[in-house]
Amino acid sequence: HPRLKEEVLKKIEEFKKEPGAQFMVINAAVLKEIGLIDAVDEVWVVVASKANRLKRLARAGQNPQAAKKRINSQPPQKEYLKIADLVIRNDGTVKQLHEKVRAGFKF
């Protein structure tokens, strides 16, 4: 992931130069793995039950075997909880998720 890390750091530096910029969101499931934890102010982790993740992958067209393989290849969610400043449970609707995300902002 060296190139990804380089690109994200470049975007962060560009963002800091923007007049009036308040916050930047980096959607990176591998934030820890590529060594970017120290480059951010907060880490938000979104978690969902395995059953819901499987359902969502199925709705996206992934067959059940591939979906299980994909989820089982990911680090356990508890590993992400260790680095989280904020944990958002995403087992509800999209509207509920949006409300939880909005509530996480401190402005």
Strand, coil or helix: what is 43? Answer: coil
Task: Identify the pLDDT of residue 17.
Answer: 94
What are the per-10-residue average pLDDT scores of the chain (107 residues)?
90 93 87 90 94 94 93 89 94 95 86
Task: Identify the pLDDT of residue 32.
Answer: 87
Task: Identify the pLDDT of residue 27.
Answer: 87
Q: Which amino acid is at 38?
A: D
Task: Identify the pLDDT of residue 76.
Answer: 87
Query: How much is the pTM?
Result: 0.82
Task: Identify the pLDDT of residue 18.
Answer: 93
Strand, coil or helix: what is 13? Answer: helix
CB 78 within 8 A of CB 45: no
Residues across the chain? 107
The encoded tokens of residue 14 equal: 């560009």
Task: Identify the pLDDT of residue 28.
Answer: 83
| Closest C-alpha among 51, 52, 34 to residue 43 | 34
Task: Identify the pLDDT of residue 88.
Answer: 96
Task: Identify the pLDDT of residue 103.
Answer: 94
Q: At what angle do helices 64-73 and 50-59 cross, to 10 degrees?
A: 130
Phi, psi of 51, rounded to the nearest 5 degrees = -60, -45
